[in-house]
Structure 1
C-alpha cells in the first residue's frame, strides 16, 4: 500500500504509527501549499504546566510551496526548543540515555523547514532503531492515487487515533496527555516505544 504523508516537525505518535505501518510504501508530500497552524512547523510536548506547543517561526517571503518554506533567522528557536525539551524530560526514565542523539536535531544547519524536518526524522529513526525507506513526491496532485494523510492529523482537534495510556513525567499532576510528539514516547518508554507504536490504531 502506498501512503502519502505530510512532513512534520518531531511528529505526533499517531503520525509515526502510520509511517511505520507494515507493508506500507511511504511517499512524502513536499509540493503542497504550506498550510498554517499545523504540525509541519510545530510539535507538542508535556511540560511542567501541561501540553506545550513548540513552534518553528517561518520566514515570510511570499513563497507558498512546502519545500521552499524557510525558517526565520530572527528567532533562535533551536536553543529555545532544546531547552524546553530538556526541562520537560530531564526527569523522564530514558531522556539521559538518548540526550546526545536528540540534541543533534538542533545542531543541524539548514534554513529550510523541509530539510530540517527530514533530518530530524532520520535521527528519530536511529533512536527508535528502525529504518523505513521513503521517497519525496515530485509534484502536487489534488487527488493522489496513494492513500493520503495530508489532512489527517490536526493540531486543533483531538487525535482520531486510539492509544493506551503510558507513564508520563507529569501525569500525576495533569493526567495522561494523548498523542504528543514522538519525543514523549521515546523519553518515557525507551526501547518499548517501537512496540507501542505498532499498537496505535485509528478509531
Structure 2
C-alpha cells in the first residue's frame, strides 16, 4: 500500500510512523493549498508550551492555488527566526549538537517555492532517521484513489484535529516533559533531537 499526503513542513511524528510502516510515500503538489495546515507550519515543544513555526507566504494563507504554485515570502527573515527558536528549544536535548551544523546549512539555503522547501525538509529528516521508504510526486491531480492500494491522508493531518485523528502517538522523552508533560504529535525534529539514532526504532515499533 502507498501513502498519499500533502507535503508538510517537518511533518508531525505520526506521519513519519505511517510512512515507515508503508515504505512508499507520494506527495500531491497539485492538491490545492489549505490554510491552517501543516503545509507551512510545524510545532515544537518550548519551555512554556507548544511553539508554532509558520513559513510566511506570498499572498498570505488565503490562496487556493495548487501547492506547487505557492511562493514563500522571503522578505521576512523567517529562516533565521525559526532556526534560533529551534536552537533555543533543543540546546538541552541529547542530539541537537550532532545535527546543528547540517540543520543550519538547510536554513541558510534560499527557496522560492514552499513545495521545494518542504521536500528538502523531508529529505533532511529522512537522512537522519535512516528512512528506507521511497518518496515521489504525483504527475497530476486525482480526486479519489483505490483504498485497497492507497492510504489517502490529504487534508486529514491537520493541526486542529491531529490529536483526535491520531490518539495513539509515538512516545519518547521530551526536553520539557518534566514541567509540561508529554506533548504528542510534534514535528519530527522533536523526535530526532530527543532520540537520535533511536528514532527509527521508535517509528517502527508495533
TM-score by length of 2: 0.90
Which residue number corresponds to residue 45 of structure 1?
44
8 Å contact kept, 2:170–2:203: no
Aligned match of 1:66: 67
Do the aligned partners of residues 181 and 164 (structure 1) sit closer, same or farther apart at CA in structure 2, a change above 3 Å counting? closer
Please state how far the C-alpha of 1:63 moved relative to its aligned partner: 6.4
Partner of 2:98: 97
Tell me the CA shift for residue 99 of structure 1: 1.1
CA distance in 2, matches of 1:185, 1:39: 17
Partner in structure 1 of residue 141 of structure 2:
140
What is the alpha-carbon distance in structure 2 between the residues aligned to residue 63 and residue 198 of structure 1?
36
Partner of 1:78: 79
Q: Which runs of 5+ in 2 are unaligned?
A: none
- TM-score, structure 1 length as denominator? 0.92
Please state if 1:111 is matched with 2:112.
yes
Measured after TM superposition, the shift of residue 154 of structure 1 is: 1.5
User: RMSD between aligned alpha carbons?
Assistant: 1.7
Q: How many residues align?
A: 199
Match of 2:121 in 1: 120
Cα distance change, pair 188–129 in 1 and its aligned pair in 2 (3 A): same
Which of 184, 198, 201 is equivalent to 1:195?
201
Tell me if the contact between 2:13 and 2:170 (Cα under 8 Å) persists in the aligned partners: no
| SS of the residue 1:21 aligns to | helix
Candidates 144, 150, 155, aligned match of 1:151: 155
